[in-house]
Amino acid sequence: MNARLKVEGIRSGYGEIQVLRGIEMLCGEAQITALVGSNGAGKSTLLRTLAGILPTATGRILHGEAEIQRLPSHERVARGIIMVPEGRLVFPDLSVEENLRTGAVNVRARDVWSKTVKEVYDLFPRLLERQKQLAGTLSGGEQQMLALGRGLMGLPEVLLLDEPTLGLAPSVATQIFNIIPQLTESNISILIAEQDLNRVLDIAHFGYVIENGRITMQDTGSALRNNPAVAEAYLG
Amino acid sequence: MTSAFSLLKTRFVWFLFAGLLLIAQVPSILGSYWTLIALNLMMWVAITQSWTLFSGMTGYISLGHVVFYGVGAYVVASTFNTIPLWLAVPMGGIAAALLALVVSVPVLRVRGPYFVILTFGLAELVKFSILNLETVSGKSSRLLFGTPSIEILLYCMIGLVVLATLTTLFVTCSRFGRGLTVIREDEVAAATVGVPVLRYKIIAYTISAIVPGMAGGLMALKSTYFEVLQVFNPIISFTVVTMAIIGGSGDVRGPFLGAVFLVLLSELFWTTAPQFYMILVGLFLILFVIFAPNGIAAFLDKLQISRKSG
């Protein structure tokens, strides 16, 4: 497997509080990599560290051959490492289209934004219907689609999805889970942190179980799906 | 939407230049008393406009912008008669910008109420530091002899208003300005789409210090003496925030409307009933925050919309 993102012994956290205690993982090219674990295990912290929102204390993050752990977040975005944050952080007072446009502020995506936005509307026709509406007035599911669409506007090579179905109606969650595998066809690697263990392992090529800031199990998605120890770890 | 905005903008720019040309006529038509009022008005517009560029756009409320005003005044007063004024006043602006740049990295790491308190504390710290410096060197206050006439200062101040307003207009339409708006909306989300959050905040904070620095220099020349407690008076910061809120801090017209409103109010009541004036200012501030948080500018827009539809 060719790794697009390689994580070597990452430690990070919030100030004095260390959350990640040496993470080793790979994200394959155009593959879905799942990150599962209970609340507080360090899933969000890992994604935020990879995106550069949190500083890396020690360890290396390799994007291809390049070390990126010291780059600020906007330079990682420019390299195509893009996070869709937990809680659908859309810009409430901007319209749907303006939100999408902010997703394309990085150098690679800027000039082709009008082409990318059409592809995003093809993927999420609902967003086209709501084009002029303020993002704050959208439903939870629509906001998640917008957050996802905004991430795609940046032309990701690696898309970091933090709990994309959290708090969504089951039918909307299903829709999101149907769309994610389509993205790998556009050569996007996906690292997804998710509470819905079974569904995420169904679509993932490979998965990691994280407990107390360490990777405790790793296997193909289907193998983890059938491993009873995973469910146990998940329950904490 | 973009075309409507640029239309409004051009109309606004015409209004702006017409208004400023009228104000430039004040000395010859209305005499020296009104010239002083015009100078005051222009000073408030210039500072509030600069404040809006940073605080209005990013949502980081600075309660210490007087520090830049004071530093500009200090530079002009302490170099008076040693370097020419055309150089000293811009140097005041540069000194203020340098101060903003130096303190921005630690100051901009905190948010919300902590940021507000920190900017206030910083202004007080600089005030008392310069006060001690002046006392130690035996210069509790400085008299400035041979300052330019009020008319000249008014024209310079009008120039600062133009500078501050054009900067705001320019920034609003730029990618930089959109980045600042997005930071105000949600800072983490702004970082995830690739906005260089810290760098943008530092640049905006630094730019917003320049005009207040130069305005402080001009006002030191106007009062013909320099007294630390006066030019670093926190009331100046409070007034700027009040004007921005009353006028509308998300709008380039806001500082004009807010400054005209408060200067008129002060003209009506300050000499006859000063206590009454302060009570009124407080009352208006409360009323605006509750009922019109986007200020007179948004209120005018609403009137226009309802007139068109009604």
Of A86-100, B4-18, B128-142, B264-278, minimum mean pLDDT range:
B4-18
- Least Cα distance to A177 among A159, A192, A187 occurs for A192
Closest-CA distance of chain B to residue A59, Å = 22
Residue of B nearest to A71 (CA): B196
Q: Do A51 and B175 touch (CB under 8 A)?
A: no
**What b/e readout covers A69-107, taking b as 16+ CB neighbours within 10 angstroms?**
bebbbbbbbbbbbbbbbbbbbbbeebbbbbbbbbbbbbe
Q: What is the pLDDT of residues B15-61, one digit of tens each?
A: 888 999 999 999 999 998 999 999 999 999 999 999 999 999 999 99
Instruction: Please report, rounded to a whole number, the percentage of residues in chain B having pLDDT higher than 70.
Output: 95
Q: What is the pLDDT of residue A232?
A: 78
Residues near B223 by beta carbon (within 8 Å), at least 6 away in sequence: B230
Query: Which amino acid, residue A161?
Result: L
Q: How far apart, in whole angstroms, are the C-alpha atoms of residue A24 and residue A26?
A: 7
B 168-207 residues with CB < 8 A to A? 175, 178-179, 181-182, 185-186, 188-198
> How crowded is the C-beta side of A224, counted as CA atoms within 13 Å?
29
Chain B residue closest to A132 (CA)? B1
Identify the pLDDT of residue B2. 46
- The superfamily in CATH containing domain A1-80+156-236 is P-loop containing nucleotide triphosphate hydrolases (3.40.50.300)
Q: Which of B185, B189, B196 sits opposite A72 (nearest CB)?
A: B196
Yes or no, beta carbons of B185 and A84 under 8 Å apart? no
**Could you report the per-residue pLDDT of B256-266, keeping only the tens digit for each?**
999 999 999 99
- As a dihedral over the C-alpha atoms of residue B239, residue B244, residue B246, residue B251, rounded to 10 degrees, the angle is 170
Tell me which of B192, B199, B294 to substitute to probe the interface with A (most A C-beta atoms closer than 10 Å).
B192
What does pTM read for this prediction? Answer: 0.88
Q: Taking CB atoms and an 8 Å limit, are A102 and B196 in contact across chains?
A: no
Residues of A with CB under 8 A from a CB of B: 51-53, 72-74, 77-78, 82-85, 89-94, 102-103, 105-106, 150-151, 153-154
Vertex B57 angle, CA B264 and B163, to 5°:
60
Along chain A (236 residues), what's the average pLDDT of each consecutive run of 10 residues? 89 89 94 92 94 94 94 95 91 94 92 95 95 94 95 96 92 93 94 90 94 93 89 69
What is the rounded CA–CA span in Å between residue B169 and residue B10?
A: 11
Residue ranges of chain A that CATH labels 3.40.50.300: 1-80+156-236
Rounded to an integer, what distance in angstroms lies between the CA atom of residue B209 and that of residue B94? 8
- B165-169 long-range contacts (CB < 8 A, ≥24 apart) are B165/B16, B165/B49, B165/B252, B167/B50, B167/B53, B167/B207, B167/B211, B168/B49, B168/B52, B168/B53, B168/B252, B169/B9, B169/B13, B169/B252
For B139-152, the pLDDT digits (tens) are 767 888 888 999 99
What region, left, alpha or beta, does residue B303 occupy, with left being phi > 0 and alpha being psi -120 to 50 degrees? alpha
Nearest to B123 by CA among B229, B217, B226: B229
CB contact under 8 A, B194 and A154: yes
pLDDT of residue B64: 95
Q: Could you identify the residue written with the tokens 């810009």?
A: A91
Give the sign of the dihedral formed by CA B293, CA B296, CA B299, CA B305.
negative
pLDDT digits 0-9 by tens, B230-246: 999 999 999 999 999 99
User: Could you report the predicted ipTM of this complex, rounded to two decimals?
Assistant: 0.87
Q: A159 to chain B: nearest residue by CA?
A: B192
Mutation choice for B interface testing from A93, A94, A105 by most B CBs within 10 A: A105
Separation of alpha carbons B280 and B221, rounded Å: 30
**Which ranges of B224-273 does DSSP label H, i.e. alpha helix?**
228-231, 234-247, 254-269
Mutation choice for B interface testing from A45, A89, A107, A153 by most B CBs within 10 A: A89
The angle that helices B254-269 and B295-309 make with each other, rounded to 10 degrees, is 110
B86 pLDDT higher than 60: yes
Question: Strands A3-14 and A58-63, how do they pair?
Answer: antiparallel
CB contact under 8 A, B192 and A73: yes
Beta bridge pairs of residue A8: A60
Residue B8 has pLDDT above 80, yes or no: no
Q: Is B109 on the interface with A (CB under 8 A)?
A: no
> Where do we find the tokens 């120890």?
A229
Contact at CB, A74 and B194, closer than 8 angstroms:
yes
Round to whole Å and give the CA distance between A200 and A82: 19
Identify the pLDDT of residue A92: 93
Instruction: Write down the residue that tokens 């504390």 correspond to.
Output: B121
CA distance to partner chain B, nearest, from residue A114 (Å): 16
Between chain A and chain B, how many beta carbons pairs sit less than 8 Å apart?
64
pLDDT band at B4 (very low <50, low <70, confident <90, very high): very low
The whole-angstrom separation of Cα A88 and Cα A163 is 9
Res A236: pLDDT: 52
Classify burial at B282, counting beta carbons within 10 Å of its beta carbon; exposed 0-12, middle 13-18, buried 19 or more. Answer: exposed
Q: Is B268 a residue whose pLDDT tops 90?
A: no
Cβ contact (<8 Å) for A83 and B192? yes
The residue that leads in pLDDT, A21 or B13, is A21
Return all residues near A2 (Cβ < 8 A) that are at least 6 apart: A28, A29
For residue B184, give the amino acid letter. Answer: R
pLDDT, greater one: B112 or B140? B112
CA count, 13 A, side-chain hemisphere, A24: 4
pLDDT of residue B79: 93
* Chain A residues near residue B185 by CB distance under 8 angstroms: 91-94
Distance CA A184, CA A196 (A): 20
